[in-house]
Amino acid sequence: MMMNPCLTRFLVCLLLAGWLLPGCVRLGQRAPEKSSYVFSAERLATAPKAISPGVLQISPLRISPRFASRSFVYRHGTTRYQSDFYHVFLVSPASLVQEEVVRWLAASGIFSVVSTSAGPLPPDFLLQGHISELYGDFRAGQSAAILEITFILLDRRSDKNILLNRGYRSQIPLAKATPEALIIAWNAALAHILSDLEEDLGTVVTLLAEPGKEPSLP
């Protein structure tokens, strides 16, 4: 019984594809599954007593377009970066970082209320943030998690309203250049940045309560 010529050519093509492309996913083989991650910055110190009755509103954080995607970003050279299709943030990384900022500062005790919206109480202070760097540095010999955020604190009650304008950068070495090690290091980097931010905000608010003192930090 002769086989249909078209069917024969089709089978030959399949065999050639399997021989020429051994690295591709074969028929019947499951494709790799995506893994989703979130930020979780853990506080190590106990919260101080409240030092201000002020209401703090945290605006939605902005992020550089280079790192705005949900995909993890790895740096492999001076100008060579790679996005990871299979290891991603659960939602926008800017939203995840903002959630941690709100949670951290609400537990700090610096302000009486910390929220992302004005709510029933008009905000006394407004905190804005911009994420300028968020990637895994996978270059040979210097694997690290990189995170850099600039925060601006505005006083909504006075004309001289910029109380704080400072960039915070954290670089945490990686035990291994893997996505799992990267998210752990990113969490440590975020905790380090938020700890420094909390200290600066506490200083600013304390100075505001002292007449004749300059409340702003660089």
Each domain of the chain, given as residue ranges in start order, spans 49-208
The answer for residues whose C-beta is within 8 angstroms of residue 38's C-beta and 6 or more apart is 89, 90, 96
CATH number of the domain located at residue range(s) 49-208 in this protein = 3.40.50.10610
pLDDT of residue 142: 86
Tokens of 171: 């670089």
What is the Cα–Cα distance from 29 to 31, expressed in whole angstroms? 6
Mean pLDDT across 60-79? 97
* Bridge partner residues of 167 (DSSP): 150
pLDDT digits (tens, 9 = 90+) for 134-147: 999 999 888 999 99
pLDDT of residue 23: 42
What is the Cα–Cα distance from 203 to 21, expressed in whole angstroms? 61
pTM: 0.82
What is the Cα–Cα distance from 59 to 69, expressed in whole angstroms? 20
The percentage of the chain sitting over the pLDDT mark of 90, rounded to a whole number, equals 63
If one counts every other C-beta atom within 10 angstroms of the C-beta of residue 21, the result is 10
What is the Cα–Cα distance from 141 to 122, expressed in whole angstroms? 50
Q: Which residue has the higher pLDDT, 154 or 10?
A: 154
| C-alpha pair distances (Å), 186 with each of 42, 94, 169, 171, 214 | 12, 13, 11, 9, 34
Chain center to CA of 154: 22
Task: Flag the least confident range among 19-23, 28-32, 159-163, 174-178.
Answer: 19-23
Query: What's 138's DSSP letter?
Result: -
